[in-house]
Structure 1
């Protein structure tokens, strides 16, 4: 029986490259001369630190642009509130791996409501979709790709015929 998995993962190597490129961009930008500003990566958390809040917003745009260049979907980034500490301001951006249970439940419900002849089941941090016909599976993939209300990047893995 044909099946595939719906996953949501971020390539950590490309994430590291995007952070490194963002740091290089800061060195060449005129508006960041003589400013203490940097990006740092710790596992899947990018810490953005600068001297002012408006600089944090500019740096977040720089990071998004470099993520797009490296093929990492910026929708996987979840930013926390801006924290003020002394002279510096910082913000953390988390890159989540896997699909959370509420989003997985929404995915399963959306697939079942579409009346496509496939079965969807939650398996840990991914959703497995099985069906009798390959065309039905491809229709389910198209449905998930076009689901804008979930606002999360999904990849398809482990396609079995």
Structure 2
């Protein structure tokens, strides 16, 4: 029997599910009557999504479609970091949505402070953009996971490598 149990707290998303959500969004834009003739494009780059459409009204409609499709595919809406709306050529608008991956140092410190303050038998440690939590008791780790799920942090959290 292991003397210490641990798990990692990460902020990540399934890239293939995001690709599928964007494909579904593009399909719905092409089939919806109010968006059909807007020549809206939604393109996925490495770490961002670029939306080009004819007005801010249609941009809001595209946002709601994208959020709906992402939520259906179990993607957290916290991965989207909306940039400012820019005007493009021909009275069109463009927006870049950055995709958030990884836990920043400030948020990692906030998470480990919360764990240290509330759970005395649990040791958090920051390792790059991952927070590793270890304890001698599996039940303590389960309690930490439940507590972090209740916390409203600006990033989507996943719990991996539970052993």
Q: CA deviation at 1:115?
A: 3.0
RMSD over aligned CA atoms reads 1.0
Deviation of residue 116 (structure 1)?
Answer: 4.2
Runs of at least 4 residues of structure 1 off by over 3 A?
none
Which blocks of at least 5 consecutive residues in structure 2 are unaligned?
Answer: none
2:25 maps to: 22
State whether residues 12 and 44 of structure 1, in contact with CA within 8 Å, keep that contact through their aligned partners in structure 2: no
Counterpart Cα distance in 2 of 1:159 and 1:34 = 49
Report the equivalent of 2:95.
91
> Scaled by the length of structure 2, what TM-score is found?
0.94
Q: How does 1:148-159 map to 2 (within 5 A)?
A: 148=152, 150-159=153-162
TM score, norm. by length of structure 1: 0.95
Query: Distance in 1 between the 2:96 and 2:160 partners?
Result: 29
Tell me the equivalent position of 2:16.
Answer: 13
Cα pair 2:100 2:155 within 8 Å, conserved: no
Aligned mates of 1:106, 1:29 — CA distance in 2:
43
The residue aligned with 1:132 is 136
Q: What's the CA shift for 1:110?
A: 1.0
Report the alpha carbon displacement of residue 152 of structure 1 after superposing the two structures with TM. 1.9
Query: For the residues of structure 2 that align with 1:21 and 1:33, how far apart are their CA atoms?
Result: 14
> Structure 1 unaligned runs (5+)?
none
Q: Which moved more, 1:110-119 or 1:25-34?
A: 110-119
Q: Does 1:72 align with 2:75?
A: yes
Map 1:101-140 to 2 at 5 A. Answer: 101-140=105-144
Deviations 1:88-138 (A, max 9, x none): 211111112211111111111111121342010100110000111001111
| 2:150 corresponding residue in structure 1 | 146
CA distance in 2, matches of 1:96, 1:59: 19
* Residue in 2 that maps onto 1:61: 64
Q: Cα offset for 1:49?
A: 1.1
Give the 3-state SS of the residue equivalent to 2:142 in structure 1: helix
- Please say if residues 52 and 93 of structure 2, whose CA atoms lie closer than 8 Å, have aligned partners that are also in contact: yes
Q: How many correspondences in the alignment?
A: 159
